[in-house]
Amino acid sequence: MATPPVQSEKLTFRRYNDGDTKFESWRDQIFQASYTHKCPTYIQSTPPCQGSCPSGEDIRGYLAVVRGTEKPPAGVPWQEYAWRRLTEANPFPSVMGRVCPAPCETGCNRNEVEDHVGINAVEHFLGEYAIAHQLRFNAPAVRTGKRVAVIGGGPAGLSCAYQLALKGHDVTIFDEHEHLGGMMRYGIPGFRTPREVLDAEIQRILDLGVEVRPKCRIGTDVTLDELRRDYGAVFLGMGAQSGRPLPAPGGDAPNVVTATSFLRAFNDGRLRHVGKRVVVIGGGDTSIDVATVARRLGHIDNPKPTDFPEHAIAGYVAHDVASISAKQGAEVTLTSVFAVDRMQANKHEIEQAQAEGIAIRGGLAPVAVLKDDAGRAIALRVARCEAKFVGPRLEIKVIEGSEEDIPADLVVSAIGQAVDFTGLEEFDSGKGTVAADRNYQVSGKPGVFAGGDVLRPHLLTTAIGHGAIAAEGIDRFLRAEDLEKRPKVDVHAFDLMRKMVERGLSFSAATEPMHGTAATNVGIHNFDNRSERYVIPHDELFLGHFGWVSRNQRKFITLTRETALGNFEERLEPLSEAEAVAEGKRCMSCGMCFECDNCVVYCPQTAVARVPKKEATLGRYVYTDYDKCIGCHICKDVCPTGYIQMGLGE
How confident is the model at residue 520, as a pLDDT? Answer: 64
Same domain? 385 vs 467: no
Same domain? 508 vs 638: yes
Same domain? 257 vs 366: yes
Same domain? 591 vs 503: yes
241 confidence band (pLDDT: 50, 70, 90): confident
Average pLDDT over residues 430-444: 93
Same domain? 552 vs 622: yes
Same domain? 281 vs 316: yes
Strands of 448-450's sheet, edge to edge? Answer: 211-213, 170-174, 147-151, 233-236, 448-450
**Of 391, 415, 439, which residue sits at a domain end?**
415
3 confidence band (pLDDT: 50, 70, 90): very low
| 405 within some domain | yes
How confident is the model at residue 17, as a pLDDT? Answer: 56
* Structural domain that includes position 204: 147-240+419-478
How confident is the model at residue 341, as a pLDDT? Answer: 93
| 115 within some domain | yes
CB distance 232 to 125 below 8 Å: no
Same domain? 60 vs 198: no
In this structure, of 7-21, 417-431, 512-526, 573-587, the range with the lowest mean pLDDT score is 7-21
Which domain CATH number covers 155?
A: 3.50.50.60
* pLDDT(2) > 50: no
Say how far apart CA 306 and CA 296 lie, in whole Å: 21
| 178 within some domain | yes
CB distance 404 to 381 below 8 Å: yes
- Segment 34-50, tens digit of pLDDT: 556 678 889 999 999 99
| 5 within some domain | no
Same domain? 381 vs 278: yes
How confident is the model at residue 516, as a pLDDT? Answer: 60
How confident is the model at residue 35, as a pLDDT? Answer: 58
How confident is the model at residue 303, as a pLDDT? Answer: 84
Same domain? 408 vs 470: no
329 confidence band (pLDDT: 50, 70, 90): confident
Same domain? 194 vs 287: no
Q: Are strands 608-610 and 622-624 parallel, antiparallel or unpaired?
A: antiparallel
In this structure, of 10-24, 141-155, 258-272, the range with the lowest mean pLDDT score is 10-24
| 401 within some domain | yes
201 confidence band (pLDDT: 50, 70, 90): very high
* pLDDT(618) > 90: no
* pLDDT(14) > 60: no
* pLDDT(8) > 50: no
Counting residues of the chain whose pLDDT is more than 90, the rounded percentage is 72
CA distances for 211 relative to 58, 161, 203, 207, 554, angstroms: 28, 10, 11, 9, 37
**Residue 446: how many other CB atoms lie within 10 Å:** 10
How confident is the model at residue 314, as a pLDDT? Answer: 85
* pLDDT(324) > 60: no
How confident is the model at residue 301, as a pLDDT? Answer: 84
Same domain? 178 vs 104: no
- Segment 470-498, tens digit of pLDDT: 999 999 999 999 998 899 999 998 888 88
pLDDT, greater one: 649 or 92: 92
Average pLDDT over residues 205-213: 97
How confident is the model at residue 13, as a pLDDT? Answer: 47
How confident is the model at residue 7, as a pLDDT? Answer: 46
Say how far apart CA 369 and CA 24 lie, in whole Å: 67
CB distance 424 to 388 below 8 Å: no
* pLDDT(500) > 70: yes
Average pLDDT over residues 18-43: 62
- Segment 300-321, tens digit of pLDDT: 888 888 888 998 888 777 776 6
Helices 460-478/155-166 angle, 10° precision: 40
Average pLDDT over residues 548-567: 93
How confident is the model at residue 496, as a pLDDT? Answer: 82
What mean pLDDT is reported for the chain?
A: 89
| 3 within some domain | no
Same domain? 395 vs 290: yes
| 76 within some domain | yes
* pLDDT(58) > 50: yes
Which amino acid, one-letter code, is at 143?
R
**Of 398, 415, 432, which residue sits at a domain end?**
415
What 3-state DSSP class applies to 247?
coil
Which amino acid, one-letter code, is at 278?
V
* pLDDT(525) > 70: no
CB distance 365 to 382 below 8 Å: yes
How confident is the model at residue 523, as a pLDDT? Answer: 59
Domain count, the chain: 3
Say how far apart CA 213 and CA 172 lie, in whole Å: 7
* pLDDT(356) > 70: yes
Average pLDDT over residues 319-324: 60
Torsion angle in degrees (nearest 10) through CA of 22, 28, 33, 34: -170
Average pLDDT over residues 272-283: 94
| 338 within some domain | yes
326 confidence band (pLDDT: 50, 70, 90): low
CB distance 257 to 411 below 8 Å: yes
How confident is the model at residue 398, as a pLDDT? Answer: 94
Average pLDDT over residues 109-129: 97
* pLDDT(609) > 60: yes
Say how far apart CA 86 and CA 93 lie, in whole Å: 8
